[in-house]
């Protein structure tokens, strides 16, 4: 379904040749779905990509087949009924984590956020399979998963003012200048996130890449709906902020190289 205010380029999901594979939680091959926003802002542009084929163990496959239909969704144009999906109206609302990777930090934080719904968004099945395994094994009830590009998931699957928070931890820095257009932090992405956040909602971004930090520094005031908070000394004033409990693989690599981790917070006005 195409929004006339935002014409969309669609892959044909019914074309058998375009599917990643038959089975539960499969994604289309080739160029991912991309909305033509046409609003004068900059949005990340992705070219064709190949799927990371990390092989799942037999146990991971079994857990995936059994639990994905209840706990996972694939990018689509259907708005999510959050309360129905989680089976509750969460006291602290819903946070979307874009680029959750293998979900080590997501799974570690979830028990500290029992009153919050957490939706982990990731393209790659192997990463989601590890998170799904942790969710099932540890009985984590407040995490759900979506396979797809984060910008398109926000655009297509969440209603305006439906989220209390968005997290983007250590996004791909796309270090080559010709690839900077692929960086997720852009003026358009910040606008889209602001539209999806409810008033008072928080956007939390962390990076250990110095050039990407400089890039973000140039954009902190670009979206008028977002109040830039920097990194306040009294973090208790940010109700949806939870300390990351485990150093992720990418964070660890940065620390091994003595990279400085820079954190950014914005609040929806």
* CA–CA dist 105, 87 (Å, integer): 24
Known binding residue 250? Answer is: yes
Known binding residue 176? Answer is: yes
- Whether the CB-CB separation of 83 and 219 falls below 8 Å is answered with no
Q: 110-151 pLDDT, tens per residue?
A: 999 999 999 999 999 999 999 999 999 999 999 999 999 999
pLDDT score recorded for residue 241: 83
Active site residue 211: no
- How large is the C-alpha radius of gyration of the chain? 18
For Cα atoms 156, 21, 96, give the angle at the middle one, nearest 5 degrees.
30
More confident residue, 196 or 256: 196
- Check whether 30 has a pLDDT greater than 70: no
Average pLDDT value over all residues in the chain: 86
Known binding residue 251? Answer is: yes
User: Which whole number is the average pLDDT over 94-102?
Assistant: 96
User: Which whole number is the average pLDDT over 94-119?
Assistant: 95
- % of the chain with per-residue pLDDT over 70: 82
Q: Which residues are paired to 122 by β-bridges?
A: 147
Of 92, 100, 82, nearest to 244 by C-alpha is 100
Task: Give residue 45's pLDDT band: very low, low, confident or very high (50, 70, 90).
Answer: confident
User: Which positions ≥6 away from 243 have C-beta within 8 Å?
Assistant: 109
Q: Which domains, and CATH codes, for the chain?
A: 58-268 (3.40.50.150)
User: Which whole number is the average pLDDT over 73-88?
Assistant: 96
* CA–CA dist 156, 94 (Å, integer): 16
* CA–CA dist 21, 29 (Å, integer): 9
Of 259, 148, 160, 140, nearest to 206 by C-alpha is 259
Considering 9-13, 44-48, 225-229, the range whose residues carry the highest mean pLDDT is: 225-229
| 36, 172, 217, 256: the active-site residue | 172
User: Which positions ≥6 away from 191 have C-beta within 8 Å?
Assistant: 39, 41, 223, 225
Known binding residue 5? Answer is: no
Measure CA 103 to chain center: 11
* CA–CA dist 68, 125 (Å, integer): 11
Known binding residue 248? Answer is: yes
Known binding residue 234? Answer is: no
- Whether the CB-CB separation of 143 and 120 falls below 8 Å is answered with yes
Residue whose pair of structure tokens reads 């690839």 in the numeric block: 179
Please give the structure tokens belonging to residue 152: 């398109």
CA distances from 215 to 24, 85, 186, 209 (A): 38, 36, 9, 10
Q: Which range is least confidently modeled, 5-14, 139-148, 255-264?
A: 5-14
Quote the pTM value: 0.87
CA distances from 40 to 15, 45, 217 (A): 33, 14, 20
Please give the structure tokens belonging to residue 230: 């920097």
Q: 231-247 pLDDT, tens per residue?
A: 877 777 787 888 775 55
């Amino acid at each position: 379904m195409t929004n006339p205010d935002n014409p969309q380029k669609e892959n044909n999901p019914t074309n058998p040749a375009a599917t990643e594979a038959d089975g539960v939680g499969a994604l289309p091959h080739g160029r991912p779905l991309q909305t033509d926003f046409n609003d004068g802002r900059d949005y990340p542009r992705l070219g064709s990509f190949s799927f990371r084929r990390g092989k799942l163990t037999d146990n991971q496959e079994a857990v995936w087949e059994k639990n994905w239909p209840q706990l996972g969704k694939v990018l689509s144009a259907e708005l999510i009924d959050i309360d129905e999906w989680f089976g509750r109206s969460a006291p602290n609302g819903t946070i979307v984590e874009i680029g959750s990777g293998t979900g080590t930090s997501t799974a570690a934080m979830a028990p500290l956020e029992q009153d919050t719904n957490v939706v982990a968004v990731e393209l790659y099945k192997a990463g989601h399979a590890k998170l799904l395994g942790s969710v099932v094994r540890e009985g984590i009830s407040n995490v759900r998963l979506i396979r797809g590009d984060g910008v398109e998931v926000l655009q297509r699957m969440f209603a305006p003012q439906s989220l209390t928070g968005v997290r983007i931890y250590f996004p791909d820095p796309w270090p080559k200048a010709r690839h900077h257009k692929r960086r997720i932090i852009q003026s358009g992405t910040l606008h889209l996130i602001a539209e999806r956040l409810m008033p008072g909602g928080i956007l939390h971004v962390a990076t250990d890449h110095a050039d990407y930090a400089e890039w973000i520094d140039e954009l902190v005031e670009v979206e008028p709906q977002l109040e830039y908070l920097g990194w306040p000394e009294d973090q208790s004033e940010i109700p949806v902020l939870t300390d990351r409990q485990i150093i992720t693989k990418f964070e660890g690599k940065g620390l091994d190289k003595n990279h400085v981790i820079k954190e950014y917070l914005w609040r929806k006005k």
